[in-house]
């Protein structure tokens, strides 16, 4: 006791164990409540996220459906455009084929008309020659000769049979002369009709054409070193190269309808200018003032 070895330090023992356990339990319950509240909060967040994901998936499905519909419309429009392009190409090919066929028919008709015209001109020349041979002067001479024969002292001439034969010959010549005049008149009318048909066919042809050969008193063979004829030859070759360009109007399917109409108007203007150039070259005559004006505009001194 004196040394204090048996003394026990009195320590502060705090709360009793029951209270400490109660306090710990209370803390654990508070922590559990906090964790439960956090779990509920997380569950709510998860539900919100699920709703958001579901709405996003719905939006994605709608967008995908719209995309599929747009692709289907684009594919359908592309097919329709391809069908339209194929239809236009087939129509253009048909127009070109019809144009070639009509051009061949036009050429054949022109050749036939030219042959008929030449035949009629030849017949007209023959009829004119025959009419000259059976002119009134010749007829009067034949009549006078027949009358002189009938008045000559011969048994055959003095007989009424000879006079009758002479009159029959005169009437036959008059009849032949009348027939030749009628044939000449009909041939002249037929030539005029053929020329009118030829001019009408040329007007209805759309694009005027130049002859394949140079003919007339001034030919390329006779004027080989003539600069004027060289320029005319070059102009004719250029016109022949441009002939197929103005045969038929081919619209551009990639352009709008309004622009296609403007292209058609421009095409008609260019075709009229081309026809005017062709008509100018066809109507010009060598040595005239019109030819001099044309070649002067080309820069060649006539």
pLDDT higher at 153 or 230: 230
What would the pLDDT profile of 7-49 be if each residue is shown by its tens digit?
555 555 567 888 888 888 899 999 999 999 999 999 999 999 9
Band (199; pLDDT cuts 50, 70, 90):
low
Instruction: Please report the pLDDT score of residue 134 as a whole number.
Output: 64
Whether pTM > 0.75 for this model: the answer is no
State both tokens at 255. Answer: 């352009």
Q: What is the pLDDT of residues 278-294, one digit of tens each?
A: 877 776 665 566 666 66
* Greatest mean pLDDT range, 5-14, 58-67, 132-141, 225-234: 58-67
The tens digit of pLDDT for each residue in 136-182 reads: 666 667 667 766 765 554 444 444 444 555 567 667 777 778 887 88
Residue 35 placed within a domain: no
Distance CA 51, CA 249 (A): 64
The residue among 293 and 242 whose pLDDT is bigger is 242
The CA distance from 100 to 97, in Å, is 5
Sign of CA dihedral 42, 44, 45, 50: positive
Total structural domains within the chain: 1
Q: What is the pLDDT of residue 36?
A: 92
Cα–Cα distance measured from residue 49 to residue 155, given in angstroms and rounded to the nearest whole number: 149
Task: Classify residue 166: in a domain, yes or no.
Answer: no
Q: Is residue 231 part of a domain?
A: yes
Say if 197 falls within a structural domain. no
pLDDT at position 156: 45
Please give the residue range of the domain that contains residue 264: 218-302
Give the closest residue to 197 by CA, choosing from 101, 189, 94: 189
Would you say residue 9 lies in a domain?
Answer: no
pLDDT of residue 158: 43
Lowest average pLDDT, out of 65-69, 165-169, 202-206, 251-255, goes to: 202-206
Q: Is 180 contained in some domain?
A: no
Compute the average pLDDT of residues 68-88. Answer: 86
- In this predicted structure, the answer to whether residue 128 has a pLDDT above a threshold of 80 is no
Q: Which of 272, 294, 297 is nearest to 283 (CA)?
A: 294
Give the burial class of 170: count Cβ atoms within 10 A of its Cβ; 0-12 exposed, 13-18 middle, 19 or more buried.
Answer: middle
Averaged pLDDT for residues 199-212: 56
3-state secondary structure 156-211: HHHCHHHHHHHHHHHHHHHHHHHHHHHHHHHHHHHHHHHHHHHHHHHHHCCCCCCC
**Dist. CA 202–CA 196, nearest whole Å:** 10
Is residue 132 in a domain?
A: no
Output the average pLDDT for the chain.
75
Which of 30-39, 100-109, 131-140, 230-239 tops mean pLDDT? 30-39
pLDDT of amino acid 62: 92
Coil vs helix vs strand at 146: helix
Q: What's the pLDDT score for residue 290?
A: 61
Residue 224 pLDDT grade (very low, low, confident, very high; cuts 50, 70, 90)? very low
Residue the block writes with tokens 């006539």: 302
Please report the pLDDT score of residue 103 as a whole number: 84
Quote the CA–CA distance of 133 and 137 in Å, as a whole number: 9
Note whether residue 292 is domain-resident. Answer: yes
Lookup: tokens for 116: 């008929």
């Amino acid at each position: 006791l004196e040394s204090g070895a048996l003394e026990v330090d009195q320590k502060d023992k705090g709360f009793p164990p029951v209270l400490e356990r109660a306090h710990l339990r209370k803390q654990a319950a508070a922590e559990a409540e906090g964790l439960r509240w956090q779990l509920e909060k997380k569950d709510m967040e998860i539900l919100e996220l699920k709703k958001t994901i579901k709405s996003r998936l719905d939006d994605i499905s709608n967008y995908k459906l719209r995309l599929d519909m747009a692709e289907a419309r684009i594919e359908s429009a592309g097919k329709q455009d391809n069908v339209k392009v194929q239809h236009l190409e087939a129509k253009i090919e048909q127009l070109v084929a019809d144009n070639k066929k009509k051009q061949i028919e036009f050429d054949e008709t022109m050749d036939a008309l030219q042959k008929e015209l030449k035949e009629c001109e030849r017949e007209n020349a023959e009829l004119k020659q025959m009419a000259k041979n059976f002119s009134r002067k010749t007829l009067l001479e034949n009549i006078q000769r027949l009358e002189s024969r009938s008045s000559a002292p011969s048994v055959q001439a003095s007989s009424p049979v000879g006079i009758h034969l002479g009159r029959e010959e005169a009437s036959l010549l008059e009849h032949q002369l009348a027939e030749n005049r009628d044939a000449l008149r009909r041939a002249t009318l037929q030539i005029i009709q053929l020329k009118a048909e030829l001019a009408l066919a040329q007007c209805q042809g759309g694009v005027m054409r130049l002859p394949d050969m140079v003919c007339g008193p001034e030919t390329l063979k006779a004027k080989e070193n003539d600069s004027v004829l060289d320029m005319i030859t070059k102009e004719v070759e250029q016109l022949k190269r441009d002939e197929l360009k103005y045969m038929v109007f081919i619209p551009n399917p990639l352009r709008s309808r309004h622009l296609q109409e403007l292209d058609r108007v421009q095409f008609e203007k260019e075709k009229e200018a081309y026809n005017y150039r062709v008509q100018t070259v066809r109507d010009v005559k060598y040595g005239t003032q019109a030819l001099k004006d044309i070649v002067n505009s080309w820069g060649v001194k006539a």
